[in-house]
Amino acid sequence: MIIYDTIIIGGGQAGLSVAYFLRRSSLEYLILDNQDKPGGAWLNTWGSLQLFSPTQYSSLSGWQMPKSKEDYPTKQEFLDYLTAYEERYSFPIKRNTVVLRVEKENGLFKITSSKSVYWAKTVVSATGTAQNPYIPSYPNQNKFNGLQLHSVDYRDSKDLIGKKVLVIGGGNSGAQILSEVSKVAETKWVTLEPPQFMPEDIDGRYLFIKANSSYLDNNTHNFEEKVSLSDIVQVESVKEGLKRGVYDAVRPFHAFYENGVIWQNGEKEAFHAVIWCTGFRPYLEHLYPLNIVENNRVITKNTRSIKEPRLWLVGYGSWTGFASATIYGVGKTARTTVREIQAYFKIDS
Ligand X SMILES: Cc1cc2nc3c(=O)[nH]c(=O)nc-3n(C[C@H](O)[C@H](O)[C@H](O)COP(=O)(O)OP(=O)(O)OC[C@H]3O[C@@H](n4cnc5c(N)ncnc54)[C@H](O)[C@@H]3O)c2cc1C
Pairing of the two strands 29-32 and 108-113:
unpaired
Q: Which residue is nearest to ligand X (CB)?
A: 12
Closest to ligand X by CB, 19 or 32: 32
- Name which of 128 and 321 has its Cβ closer to ligand X: 128
Minimum distance of ligand X from residue 236's CB (angstroms): 13
Strands 260-262 and 255-257 turn out to be: antiparallel
Q: What is the nearest approach in angstroms of ligand X to the Cβ of residue 214?
A: 15
Pick 12 or 195: Cβ nearer ligand X:
12
Shortest distance, CB of residue 177 to ligand X, whole angstroms?
Answer: 9
What values do phi and psi take at 171, rounded to 5?
-100, -165
Nearer to ligand X, 185 or 327 (CB): 327
Task: Pick the closer one to ligand X by CB: 247 or 316.
Answer: 316
Q: What is the three-class DSSP state of 32?
A: strand
Of residues 163 and 205, the one with the C-beta less far from ligand X: 205
| CB 104 to ligand X: min, Å | 17
Pairing of strands 164-168, 273-276: parallel
Smallest distance, ligand X to C-beta of residue 221, A: 20
Q: Tell me the angle at which helices 236-244 and 172-181 cross, rounded to the nearest 10 degrees.
A: 60
Instruction: Give the interface with ligand X as residue ranges (CB under 6 A).
Output: 9-15, 32-35, 40-42, 45, 49, 51-53, 58, 98-99, 126-128, 130-131, 173, 283, 286, 315, 325-328
Q: What ranges make up the beta strands (E) of the chain?
A: 3-9, 29-32, 93-94, 99-105, 108-113, 117-125, 147-150, 164-168, 186-190, 249-250, 255-257, 260-262, 268-270, 273-276, 293-294, 297-298, 300-301, 304-305, 311-313
